Structure 1
Amino acid sequence: MRLFWLALLPLLAACNSTPSAVNEGTVSGMTDRSTPDTSALPAPDTSHTKAVSAVSDTLRVARARHNFSSPKGPADAFKLVFRGPSVLEGTGEFTITDASGQVIFREMLTEPDLEASLVYEMKNPTATRAEREAFVLKRIDQFFQSSQFHTPAVDKKSAFPTNIENLDQATWTDLQQRPDAIRFDYLKGKEDHRGVTWSPLKKQVVRVM
């Protein structure tokens, strides 16, 4: 009987033992793969993130400051911003802003408005794309030359022009009495020479050419 119990002891010891180290390692490995530990991961690198610009389509900007709405100053800000997918598909916004920050004049200029006068400089029957682009950019860069500002805005002896929209006789006569009024001239299209000035009578910019 004693021999029987001695033979049975190893079997009882095996039943009461804990899982082996191999089994523990297997369970632990499965747990690690299902819930990975990310506490040691570095923070994402955003130092090279591409910036997003709201004015990425702006191709050229020309600026100038000149006395205009107030002959004795402060100066007004003249700006031409040319935007678009390409130079030959762009549109320019011409604005004049007074010293208080109010836009007193705005006009849109298409690419053909800026390119049309290229015909007078062409040496060949046709111009290349590069020549056309260069001409448009030059027109923008030279849009506000000092030679385009004139005083007086209206000559005393000039007859009232009847073909200018929104210009009335009273405004014209008032400008003729203001020798310090300033006119800005610019070319739109091939031969459309325009001149604008500030009318103290109407409190707005008027076209006089």
Structure 2
Amino acid sequence: MRYSWLLLLPLLAACNSTPSAVNEGTSSRAADRQARDTTALPPPDTAAAKAVSAASDTLRVARQRHNFSHAEGPPDLFQLVFRGPSILEGTAEFTITNPEGQVIFREMLTEPDLEAALVYEMKTPTATRAERETFVLRRIDRFFLPAQFKTPAIAAQATFPTGITTLDQATWNDLRKRPDAIGFEYLKGKEDRQRITWSALKKQVVRVQSRR
């Protein structure tokens, strides 16, 4: 009996040591795998990062403060921002922002919208690139001339326009009764004269004229 017990001691020792050996082997393999995974990812290349500017493509800006949504008090901000790869390949964003900082009007104008009227100034059949660029820049710079702001926005005796589908009769009649309403007129294309104003009735900018 004593001899049998002595024979079992090595087997018991081997069984007790097995979990430790297995754990050590597993931990070692996990460490090796983690080391390989870490070295497989290259460090971030911060030196290659380039600064990005939101205004990098802005070529020209025209701004003018004028009362519009209110006849009195702080003025609204009229702004035309022309962006693009070049003067002849850009787009202008026309916005009006009220004194509270809310954009109450936004319209996109293409480069042809600004250049089209050049045809009335041309003395030759074609214009050079420099002449076209100069004309577009002048149109931007003169987009908010004082003479383009009209009061009243609609004359009391004016008749309701039939060519503007977005303007309703009630809004038109209300504006006719407001001699202090301010209109803004601008040219789009060759002959498309637009006039907009603030409607106190609808609490928004409305188009009251589109004359070709």
TM-score for the superposition, normalised by structure 1:
0.75
Map 1:30-69 onto structure 2 (within 5 A): 52-69=52-69
| Counterpart residue identity of residue 87, structure 2 | V
Deviation, 1:53, is 1.9
The alignment partner of 1:208 has SS state of strand
| Counterparts of 1:170 and 1:59, CA distance in 2 | 41
- Deviation string for 1:154-192 (max 9, x for gaps)? 011110001113100000000000000000000000000
Structure 1 residue runs of 4 or more that deviate by more than 6 Å after TM superposition? none
Corresponding residue for residue 86 of structure 2: 86
Give the RMSD, CA atoms, in angstroms.
1.4
Which residue matches 1:142?
A: 142
| Cα separation, 2, equivalents of 1:91 and 1:52 | 20
Residue range with higher mean Cα deviation, 75-84 or 51-60: 51-60
The amino acid across from 2:144 in the alignment is F
Matched length: 162
Q: Give the C-alpha shift of residue 59 in structure 1.
A: 0.3
Deviation at 1:51, TM superposition (A): 5.3
C-alpha distance in 1 between matches for 2:73 and 2:137: 30
Partner of 2:117: 117
Counterpart of 1:156, as a letter, is A
Residue of structure 2 equivalent to 1:155: 155
Report deviation, 1:52: 3.8
Find the counterpart in structure 1 of residue 107 from structure 2: 107
CA distance in 2, matches of 1:55, 1:208: 33
Q: Structure 2 length as normaliser, TM-score?
A: 0.74
Q: Specify the alignment match of 1:29 in structure 2.
A: none
Whole-angstrom CA distance in 1 between matches of 2:53 and 2:103: 24
Compare CA radii of gyration and give the structure with the larger one.
Answer: 1
Structure 1 SS opposite 2:119:
helix
Unaligned 5+ residue runs, structure 1? 1-45
Q: Percent identity?
A: 73
Specify the alignment match of 2:186 in structure 1: 186
CA distance in structure 2 between the partners assigned to 1:163 and 1:61 by the alignment = 32
User: More helix per residue: 1 or 2?
Assistant: 2
User: Equivalents in 1 of 2:65, 2:165: separation in Å?
Assistant: 27
